[in-house]
């Protein structure tokens, strides 16, 4: 009995440690998503719930396996409760599988539409890692000169800080809807530099000014958006994917179907 109790305590301590590690991971995920991006925040909540449910299921299964090794015939009520909980987990798993199949269908449809759009331009997708830097990496890939992602992030944040009045009206708290204060906005700019936070149209607007180059964003279900159309250089081309990865939206680069250079000339600013 003492051995079984000691083993159970070890399992419980390990579960506690794993939960703390998961919470740290979740916090890092939350920090990587801009507060102003409601769509990604919504997807983040779904992903967090999935991760927590998966860990809860794993821990429950381990405890059930342990209890099977040390059966207690006098605890029938407890086992009945565990059985009901297992059935509920199985139901939730089936729901999750159905949702993933639905998402996969959306992805296939999006990929087919984008392939047709890009094919008409003699282009194809070029995959960019989904690591929080995807927008900046896609820009980096399009440029004809060498530049680091860190430099692109710093230039973006610097431009936004210098033009606060142009950007601040577009930022609000996703939870309360309250407009950002100047301090909130400057903190957001700090996050652009210090964290792998996703970029969006406002960051692309800043980059178009920094590079003095238009940026064309191709989408599956909407017309292409050209940011920085006041500039005359050949546009940099990005592809925006809504269903590309589990954590939300994603940016990819493009490349020609035939051999040749991608991207337009831009000033050597870095």
244 touches 130 (CB < 8 A): yes
Is 165 an annotated catalytic residue?
A: no
Sheet of 248-256: strand order equals 123-126, 248-256, 236-245, 215-218, 225-227
Predicted pLDDT of residue 79: 61
Instruction: Give residue limits of the domains in the chain.
Output: 2-103, 108-256
What span, in angstroms and rounded, lies between the C-alpha atoms of 9 and 38? 41
CA 178 to chain centroid = 24
Residue 245 pLDDT > 70, yes or no? no
The architecture in CATH of the region 108-256 reads Alpha-Beta Complex (3.90)
Q: Can you say whether the dihedral through the CA atoms of 64, 69, 74, 76 is positive or negative?
A: positive
Is 250 an annotated catalytic residue?
A: yes
Is 134 an annotated catalytic residue?
A: yes
What span, in angstroms and rounded, lies between the C-alpha atoms of 32 and 27? 9
DSSP 131: S
Q: Of residues 242 and 217, which shows the higher confidence score?
A: 217
Predicted pLDDT of residue 127: 92
The active-site residue, picked from 37, 133, 189, 250, is 250
Residue 80 pLDDT > 60, yes or no? no
DSSP 171: -
pTM exceeds cut of 0.85: no
């Amino acid at each position: 009995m003492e051995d079984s109790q000691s083993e159970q305590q070890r399992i419980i301590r390990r579960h506690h440690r794993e939960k703390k590690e998961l919470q740290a991971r979740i916090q890092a995920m939350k920090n990587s998503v801009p507060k102003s991006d409601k769509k990604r925040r919504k997807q983040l909540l779904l992903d967090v719930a999935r991760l927590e449910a998966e860990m809860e299921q794993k821990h429950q299964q381990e405890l059930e396996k342990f209890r099977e090794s040390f059966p207690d015939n006098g605890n029938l009520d407890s086992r009945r409760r565990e059985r009901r909980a297992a059935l509920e987990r199985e139901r939730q798993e089936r729901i999750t599988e159905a949702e993933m199949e639905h998402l996969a269908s959306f992805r296939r449809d999006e990929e087919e539409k984008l392939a047709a759009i890009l094919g008409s331009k003699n282009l194809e997708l070029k995959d960019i890692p989904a690591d929080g830097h995807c927008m900046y990496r896609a820009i980096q890939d399009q440029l004809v000169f060498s530049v680091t992602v860190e430099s692109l992030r710093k230039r973006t944040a610097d431009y936004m800080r210098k033009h606060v009045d142009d950007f601040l009206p577009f930022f609000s708290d996703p939870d309360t809807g309250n407009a950002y204060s100047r301090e909130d906005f400057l903190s957001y700019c700090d996050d652009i530099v210090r964290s792998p936070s996703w970029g969006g149209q406002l960051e692309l607007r800043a980059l178009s000014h920094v590079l003095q180059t238009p940026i064309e964003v191709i989408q599956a279900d909407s017309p292409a958006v050209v940011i920085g159309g006041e500039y005359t250089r050949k546009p940099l081309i990005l592809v925006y994917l809504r269903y590309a990865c589990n954590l939300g939206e994603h940016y990819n680069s493009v490349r020609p179907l035939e051999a040749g250079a991608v991207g337009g000339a831009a000033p050597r600013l870095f």
